[in-house]
Amino acid sequence: MKYIDTHAHMTSRTTDDYQQMALTGCLALADPAFWAGYDHVSAAVFADYFERLTDFEPKRAARYGIAYYTWLCLNPKEAEDRTLAAQVLPMIPAYLDRPNVLGIGEIGLNRVTRNELATFSEQVDLAIRYGQMILVHTPHLEDKYKGTRLILDALAADGRANPGRVMIDHVEEHTIGPVLNAGYWAGITLYPMTKTSHARAVDMIEIYGTERICVSGACDWGPSDPIAIPKFALEMRRRGHAEEVIEQVVYRNPIEFLGQCSKFQVPGARIGAGVA
């Protein structure tokens, strides 16, 4: 089986994880700009982080035949700090032409504050001004419902982003409907303790279909699984789904979404001319 993980924080993972992903069929992945687990004390470290995402990490992945892509931003976990945002956001355009940068992400909300919303709107504006695709993080747990609604409201009020070039990530049963109905791509995250189990992810595929939906493992420094996607595929097989349907979700859909960025290439795939 071949697959693409649309959300994997590999800077938090070991090289052994790249090996596991390659052995289970991962051909490409996308690593959105993340939170270090603590708030940074200086904007200067972001230059170092963006270098890692655009230079060092793609080389580490390439040793295992995995095409490594990234999204750049100030993560929602630090979006409350408006001073930091004012320093970091102007740094981003210098990296947007790097060959593995897909767009702006994962932007969004964390605890759902006015400052986080202001930073979110500024990052949407940055993406629009530079013609970038957008990856949106929706908040965790009890904050997800209201955060997702406010994100959808903010995007609608701005009105400039093409929903087909935006993925709203970490959807669950109470948020996937509004995301799809508004024309966005929906990301389901296989992170059982705080997001979605493999079984619930399959339920959502059965209920909403395969169109504009991707699944990812979102592995990071927390309790997560770099090979969550092949386990999701196994769950789909146990539930009676054909290999063609599984491939649509874990391989063809990521190519359809990420392939809207001309830089996105997968070994063996013909992007934009039907998926090989």
Distance in Å, CB of 167 to other proteins, minimum: 18
Between 216 and 248, name the residue whose CB sits nearer to other proteins: 248
- Nearest 5 degrees, angle CA 276-CA 181-CA 139? 90
In a 3-state reduction of DSSP, which class is residue 30?
A: strand
Interaction pattern, residues 6-45, with other proteins; x per rule: CB under 8 A: ---------------------------------x------
Task: Write out the binding residues for other proteins, residues 148-167 only, by CB under 8 A.
Answer: 149-150
Query: Applying CB under 8 A, does 80 fall inside the site for other proteins?
Result: yes
Query: Applying CB under 8 A, does 239 fall inside the site for other proteins?
Result: yes
Query: Applying CB under 8 A, does 206 fall inside the site for other proteins?
Result: yes
Cα–Cα separations (whole angstroms), residue 214 to 52, 202, 259, 265: 26, 11, 13, 17
Task: Write out the binding residues for other proteins, residues 40-69 only, by CB under 8 A.
Answer: none
What span, in angstroms and rounded, lies between the C-alpha atoms of 236 and 140? Answer: 25
- Assigned token pair, 235: 């769950």
- Assigned token pair, 179: 């995301």
Helix (H) or strand (E) holding 233: helix 228-238
Which residue from 122, 194, 260, 263 is in contact with other proteins, where contact means CB under 8 A? 194
In a 3-state reduction of DSSP, which class is residue 89?
A: helix
Which residue from 99, 131, 141, 159 is in contact with other proteins, where contact means CB under 8 A? 141
Stretch that binds other proteins, among 61-69, 89-97, 109-117, 123-131 (CB under 8 A): 109-117
- Assigned token pair, 38: 């603590």
Task: Classify residue 142 by its DSSP letter.
Answer: G
Residues of this chain that interact with other proteins (CB under 8 A) are 39, 77, 80, 110-117, 139-146, 149-150, 172-174, 193-194, 199-200, 203, 205-211, 238-241, 244-245, 248
